[in-house]
Chain A
Amino acid sequence: MTTPATAAMPASSKKPQVQKEDAMWLQKELINRNYQELATAHERGKKISATFVPGNLNELLMCFDFARSLPETNQLQNGMRKKSGKFIMDAERDGQSEDVCTYVKSDLGMMLNGQVGPTGDPLPRPDLLLLSYTGCFTFMKWFELIRQKFGGETVMLHVPYQGDGKINPNMRDYVVKQLKETVIPALEKVSGVKFDIDRLRQYMRESAKAEEDLVAVLQSAKNRPSPIDGYFGGVYYIGPIFTAFRGTPDASKFYGMLRSEIEQRVRDGKGPITPDGEMTSERYRLVVEGPPNWTSFRDFWKMFYEDGAVVVTSTYAKVGGLYDFGFRHDPDRPLESLAEYCMGCYTNLNLPQRIDMICKYIEEYQADGLLINSIKSCNSFSAGQLLILREVEKRTGKPAAFIETDLVDPRYFSAANVKNRLESYFQMIEQKRAAQH
């Protein structure tokens, strides 16, 4: 599955010209620091865990002093730094099919190339692969493949899918029982640290604070103009909370700062900050379904903001938790709350739930329509998106459009095609508006 999003902006020769909010600089610092901590973890006597973003158990892992690696974010970072193309081809030469997920292949390729992370720091092999099986079949194979090729221990947390569109008590009990009887003992064994539930509660209290601020930031896009871009900008906002920082004071500080900045932008009536500066004209308000392309991230974003299109909200910014629908980590029922968190992530929702959510977004954010960025690598997101498109159009009366790219395989990003389709879509929105007046 495709998950975010520690999208610290990569180093580039144009760096001085890139515009960012202050919080974005802090975010970059956090992300880089995490890579340094991973690089030196073993020297410092710490164990390293790897786990996936949706349904990640960051608070729990922190209870055992693990340094925390997120394979999808490592690969999106490699994608943004133009390293993933070679890794993918190396993995294909090593026997992986051209048809399968490019995050997986980029990760395997990175390991085959000496296990150096995106920042250039060493990225040692994890001591534990915590397989939170949330919303993505490929996750299971991904860690099985790493285990097969490079060794290491895996522990599985099977998170049932919301096939009926709800979480029933049996599902929750199943996850809690796995946490108690399988996951926590495995974490204790590998780390040598005894589980302390009060420590978990403290981290979860911290998580809830940051979650509150994140929701305020994401929902600020209901304003006109929107002070944020909820997709391209959104991946920076969700980075810390979807990864190694949820539950830390650093994350609370980041989201507090970010919220203040965004609220000030609302008061000032300002639009989003883009890499080329503030967006001053908001012509189209879009909801986007699907992950971004990372290999041409900035070019992709530019196709939107140079035409005055702002993404007011996106489903991708919910793969690590549906906080805007009310979920908060609850320290009073820590394990139950972790279970509900895992089961509530976006790609663990069924198709009707996803459609309901998008329709609600279009209404609440006063969007002009839906754009689907369909990702070749990601069946979890992509299978069914054409039906989503039809249903959303039917229910909202708003125009929808479809583009196709990939996560980190540069061979599947065709800038001219994407731009053509976007321009056609913007024209479609204009025609729809003209017809209404």
Chain B
Amino acid sequence: MSKVAAIIERCQALYEDLDFKAVQEWKNAAPKRKVVGYMPVYVPREIAHAAGILSVGILGGGDQLEVIQGDAYYQSYICRIPRSTIELGLTGKLDGFDGMLFPSICDVIRNLSGMWQILFKDKYVRYFDVPQNYEDNIGGTYYVHELEILRDDLAKLAGVEITNEKINRSIEVFNENRRVIRELYAYRAAKPWQAPTTEIYLLQRAGMVLPVEEHTQLLRDYLAATEAEPRQMRDNARVVINGTFCEQPPLNLIKSIEMAGCYVVDDDFMLVTRWLLDDVPSDGDALDNLSKAFLHHSASTSAKYETKREEKGQFLLQQVTERRAEGVVFACPSFCDPALLERPMLQDVLSAHGVPHTAFKYAENTGQMAPIREQAGTFADSIKLWSAA
């Protein structure tokens, strides 16, 4: 087996492991270790890391989990990620977790935080609010206080003190991870045939369960290994995927887009790893630095208010320009308010700038890929035809 195949096989095994065995093994490896889950889009993982806590991304149950109990908690018109997450909890797959963080992303995840408080009374549960005001002395002050609460809660959970120095050291560790991920994304944009998005996706998913240091090394190993194994370049259309920041598309959906003739050169998968766009200073007041990074140097997605009309769509346009994308594929989960309400605005901006786009919906358990493959294929063909003209 090639080195790349071995790395991806490991990532695939982590991805398919709905019992979080790797997490449990990490926990069992030393006494008193703690694990906290978090949902999309963003939590400051540095603070958990500083407490020695493993933070684990919970992204629903995917297409391999049969949801039985979870469906009893949700109406048919609510997206799938909360019901499969409840299923994970009620079937004991998250028993090894000591807490869950529910970031501010939408009303469904927000309300899920309260449901978790009721259903899992022995666990630490926190709704993690983030500011929609980006002034340091207003939103920043509020956010630093929220970070202090989180720091104190996690310190209590872990039974350790979380000092400023510890957080700064963790910031350095995550800066390194962010740097390698930026490198990985730049590499894919430069040579998408060498780094297919099915592989990038699995590598990023591995980052949801592995300790960050291990994940950083895994990415380095992959970059070295794939560069050493030349693959065939194809005449594919270069596209950005948008809308997948919360409920995850099935892996087959990503494969289908690629097989239909698209190179995905940017995306919004697992934004937590790329939310902070630059290195966060690792000296001085750690929480203040995390706050400033959030307020002034973070990614844009629907969960975040944009203060001016002119800002709308600029982040996506920048992705298109910098990655030399030829089009955008909007892949949004059914019943996802953030993605579906944002989409028309982004489409308007793209149209105004002459960027082709197409759109479809999915659920994490979507099984029928033929229509998606056909649509993505037609889109790729049309891009190639327009390019030729």
B120 within 8 A of A: no
- Interface pairs (13), CB distance under 8 Å: A95-B343, A97-B341, A99-B77, A101-B341, A148-B309, A163-B102, A163-B110, A181-B135, A351-B111, A382-B77, A383-B111, A384-B115, A387-B118
Are the CB atoms of B111 and A104 closer together than 8 Å?
Answer: no
Contacting pair A140 B74 (CB below 8 A): no
A386 within 8 A of B: yes
A144-B337 contact given A137-B106, A374-B75, A379-B108, CB 8 Å threshold:
no
Question: Nearest Cβ in chain B — how far from A136, in angstroms?
Answer: 7
Selected contact of B334 from candidates A99, A160, A181, CB within 8 Å: A99
Interface residue from A158, A177, A386 paired with B305 (Cβ < 8 Å): A158
Cβ contact within 8 Å between B78 and A379? yes
Residue numbers in A under 8 Å from B110 (CB-CB): 137, 161, 163
Interface size in chain B (residues, C-beta < 8 A): 59
Using CB atoms, name the residue of chain A closest to B129. Answer: A160
Q: How far is the CB of A162 from chain B (nearest CB, A)?
A: 9
Q: Are A164 and B127 in contact (CB under 8 A)?
A: yes
Within 8 A of A (CB), among B100-140: 102, 104-108, 110-115, 117-119, 126-129, 131-133, 135, 137-139
Contacts of A353 in B (CB 8 A): 114
Contact residue among A182, A383, A386 (Cβ-Cβ distance under 8 Å from B108): A383
A355 touches B344 (CB 8 A): no
A174 within 8 A of B: yes
A197 within 8 A of B: no
A156-B132, A177-B137, A384-B112 given; name 18 further pairs at CB < 8 Å: A95-B344, A137-B107, A141-B302, A141-B341, A142-B341, A144-B345, A145-B345, A148-B345, A148-B348, A163-B102, A163-B113, A163-B114, A170-B142, A170-B145, A177-B141, A182-B138, A350-B117, A380-B111
Determine if A147 is an interface residue (Cβ-Cβ < 8 Å).
yes
Residues 1 to 45 of chain A near chain B (Cβ within 8 Å): 1
Smallest Cβ distance from B77 to chain A, in angstroms?
5
B338: interface (CB < 8 Å): yes
Beyond A141-B338, A391-B118, is A174–B141 a contact (Cβ under 8 Å)? yes
Among residues 68 to 118 in chain A, which have CB atoms less than 8 Å away from a CB atom of chain B? 94-97, 99-101, 104
Interface size class of A (residues with CB under 8 A): 35 or more
State the CA gap A1–B110 with chains docked (Å): 13
B residues whose Cβ falls under 8 Å from a Cβ of A: 72-75, 77-78, 82, 102, 104-108, 110-115, 117-119, 126-129, 131-133, 135, 137-139, 141-142, 145-146, 302-303, 305-307, 309, 312, 332, 334-338, 340-345, 347-348, 361
| A104, A178, A351: the one within 8 Å of B138 (CB) | A178
Report A-chain residues with C-beta under 8 Å of the C-beta of B113. 163, 350-351
Contacts of B115 in A (CB 8 A): 351, 384, 387
A364 to chain B, nearest CB (A): 22
CA A32 to CA B73, docked complex, whole Å: 41
B344 → chain A closest CB, angstroms:
4
Interface string of A159-183 (1 = CB under 8 A from B): 0110110000011011001100110
Cα-based distance from A99 to B337 in the complex (angstroms): 8
Q: Which of B74, B118, B127, B138 contacts A161 (CB 8 A)?
A: B127
Return the chain B residue nearest A131 by Cβ.
Answer: B305
Asked whether any CB of chain B lies closer than 8 Å to the CB of A207, the reply is no
Q: Are B138 and A174 in contact (CB under 8 A)?
A: yes
Task: Give A386 to B135 CA distance when docked, in angstroms.
Answer: 39
Give CA–CA (A100, B107) in the complex, Å.
13
Q: Is the beta-carbon distance between B132 and A158 smaller than 8 angstroms?
A: yes
Query: CA of A173 to CA of B341 in the docked complex: distance in angstroms?
Result: 30
A232 within 8 A of B: no
Indicate whether A242 reaches chain B with its CB closer than 8 angstroms. Answer: no
Chain A contacts with B in 369-406, Cβ cutoff 8 A: 374, 376, 379-380, 382-387, 391, 404
Choose from A149, A182, A355, A382 the contact partner of B78 (Cβ within 8 Å): A382
Q: Does A133 contact B (CB under 8 A)?
A: yes
Bound-state Cα–Cα, A178 to B306, Å: 16
* Interface presence of A269 (CB below 8 A): no
Contact partner of A141 (CB less than 8 A), chosen from B75, B139, B337, is: B337
Whether, in the assembled complex, A151 has its beta carbon less than 8 Å from a beta carbon of chain B, the answer is: yes
Report Cα–Cα, A382/B137, bound state, in Å. Answer: 35
Q: Are A158's CB and B344's CB within 8 A?
A: no
Partner of A156, one of B133, B137, B145, B332: B133
Contact between B337 and A181 (Cβ–Cβ < 8 Å)?
Answer: no
Interface flag for A277 (CB, 8 Å): no
Given contacts A148-B348, A351-B118, contact A138 B107 (CB under 8 A): yes
Q: Let me know if A352 and B118 touch, CB within 8 A.
A: yes
Which residue of B has the minimal Cβ distance to A152? B309
**Which of B126, B305, B344, B347 is close to A133, meaning CB atoms less than 8 Å apart?**
B305
User: How far, in angstroms, from A351 to B306 measured CA to CA in the complex?
Assistant: 28
A226 CA to B297 CA, complexed, in Å: 57
Q: Which residue of B lies closest to A158 (CB)?
A: B132
CB neighbours of A352 from chain B (8 A): 114, 117-118
Cα distance, A36 to B306, chains bound together (Å): 33
CB distance from B91 to the nearest CB of A (A): 17
